[in-house]
Chain A
Amino acid sequence: MMIKILSALTNVVIVLAVAPLIEGIMRKITARIQSRQGPPILQPYYDLMKLLIKEDIESGESPSMQRFSAIMAFASALTVVALLPLGFGYGLSSHTDIILTIYLLTFCGVCTLIAGLAAGSTYSLVGISREMMLMIPLEPILAVALIIAATNSGSFKLDAVLNGSIYNSPGIFPISSIIILVIILASFQAYAQRVPFDISEAETEIMDGPLVEYSGPKLALFKYSRMIRLVIYCALFIGLFVPWGSNLMFPFGFLIFWFKVLLLVLLVTVVAATHARYRIDQAINYFAIMLLVSFFALALASIGL
Chain B
Amino acid sequence: MNEGEIIKYLRNRFGNKIRRTDICRDRRFYINVDSDCLKDVCKVIFRDLDARFITSIGVDERQYNGGFLVAHNFAFDSWKLLCSLQTNVDGDSPSVQSITDIVPASNWAEREFRDLLGIEPVGHIYPKRLVLPDGWPDGVYPLRKDFPYDSVPEGFDENRSFKFDDAPPGCVVVPFGPFHPTLDEPAHFRLYVEGEMVRGCEYRGFMAHRGIEKLGESVLTYNEIPMAAERICGICGCVHNVAYAQAVENAVGIMPPPRSEYIRTIMLELERLHSHLLWVGLACHISGFDTLFMHCFRIREPVMWIAEKISGNRKTYALCLIGGVRWDITEELNQELREVIGKLETSWREVVKAVEKDSNLQKRTRGVGIADKKLVKESALLGPVARAAGVPIDSRRDHPYAAYNRVEFDVVVSDFCDVWGRLIVRMYEVFESIKIIRQCLQKIEPGSIQATITDEIPVGRFGMSSVEAPRGECHHFVITGENNRPRRWRVRAPTYQNLQGVPTMIKDQQLADMTLALASIDPCFSCTDRLETVDIKTGKVRVYSAKELETLFLWR
Contact = CB atoms under 8 A, between A and B. Distances in A.
A206 B174 CA distance: 10
A34 B298 CA distance: 9
Contacts of A195: 288-290
Given A207-B180, A207-B181, A278 B291 contact: no
Interface string B502-533: 00000000111111000000000000000000
B93 interface: no
Nearest to B512: A279
Interface stretch (B360-368, B441-449, B464-472): B360-368
Contacts of A56: none
A276 interface: yes
B285 A204 contact: yes
A202 B510 contact: no
B196 interface: yes
A198 B289 CA distance: 12
A199 B360 CA distance: 14
Contacts of A280: 196, 510, 512
A126 interface: yes
Contact of A278 (B290, B298, B360, B515): B360
A299 B398 CA distance: 66
A42 interface: no
A196 B180 CA distance: 21
B196 A277 contact: no
A276 B172 contact: no
A47 interface: no
B180 A276 contact: no
B295 interface: yes
A203 interface: yes
B513 A279 contact: yes
Contacts of B361: 276
Residue of A123, A204, A207, A281 most packed against chain B (CB within 10 A):
A204
B182 A204 contact: yes
SS class of chain B's interface: helix, strand, loop or mixed? helix
A207 B183 CA distance: 12
A34 B181 contact: no
Contacts of B284: 276
A202 B298 CA distance: 24
Contacts of B290: 30, 34, 195, 273
Contacts of B295: 34-35
B358 interface: yes
B360 A204 contact: no
Contacts, number: 81
Nearest to B354: A274
A277 B510 contact: no
B364 A278 contact: yes
Interface string A273-294: 1111111111000000000000
A304 to B, nearest CB: 38
B175 interface: yes
Contacts of B287: 204, 276-277
A144 B513 CA distance: 33
B288 A276 contact: yes
B333 interface: no
Given A122-B174, A204-B181, A281 B510 contact: yes
Contacts of A281: 196, 510
B422 to A, nearest CB: 16
B444 to A, nearest CB: 34
B288 A122 contact: no
Contacts of B291: 30, 33-34, 273-274
Interface string B237-259: 00000000000000000000000
B351 interface: no
A122 B172 contact: yes
A305 B180 CA distance: 52
Interface in A188-213: 195-196, 198-199, 202-207
A43 to B, nearest CB: 17
B174 A202 contact: no
B407 interface: no
Interface in B280-308: 284-291, 293-295, 298
A279 B360 CA distance: 10
A198 B288 contact: yes
A278 B363 contact: yes
Interface string A244-280: 0000000000000000000000000000011111111
A281 B367 CA distance: 14
Among B180, B286, B290, B298, chain A packs the most CB atoms within 10 A around the CB of B290
B298 A275 contact: no
Contacts of A276: 284, 287-289, 358, 360-361, 363-364
Of A273, A274, A277, the most chain B CB neighbours within 10 A belong to: A277
Contacts of B288: 195-196, 198, 202, 204, 275-277
B510 A279 contact: yes
Contacts of A203: 181
B350 to A, nearest CB: 12
A282 B360 CA distance: 10
Interface in A30-64: 30, 33-36
A32 B361 CA distance: 22
A206 B287 CA distance: 12
Interface string A107-145: 000000000000000110010010000000000000000
B131 to A, nearest CB: 28
A205 B515 contact: yes
B360 A196 contact: yes
A247 B513 CA distance: 48
Contacts of A205: 182, 286, 511-512, 514-515
Contacts of B512: 199, 202, 205, 279-280
A202 B516 CA distance: 13
B521 to A, nearest CB: 16
Nearest to B284: A276
A279 B285 contact: no
Pairs of residues from A and B, 4 with the lowest C-beta to C-beta distance, nearest first: A277-B288, A34-B294, A276-B289, A276-B287
Given A198-B288, A278-B360, 6 more contacts: A35-B295, A122-B175, A126-B196, A203-B181, A276-B364, A282-B363
26 contacts: A30-B290, A30-B291, A33-B291, A34-B295, A122-B172, A122-B173, A122-B174, A123-B174, A126-B196, A195-B289, A196-B288, A196-B360, A202-B512, A204-B181, A205-B182, A206-B511, A207-B181, A274-B291, A275-B288, A276-B288, A276-B358, A277-B289, A279-B513, A280-B512, A281-B510, A282-B364
Interface of A: 30, 33-36, 122-123, 126, 129, 195-196, 198-199, 202-207, 273-282
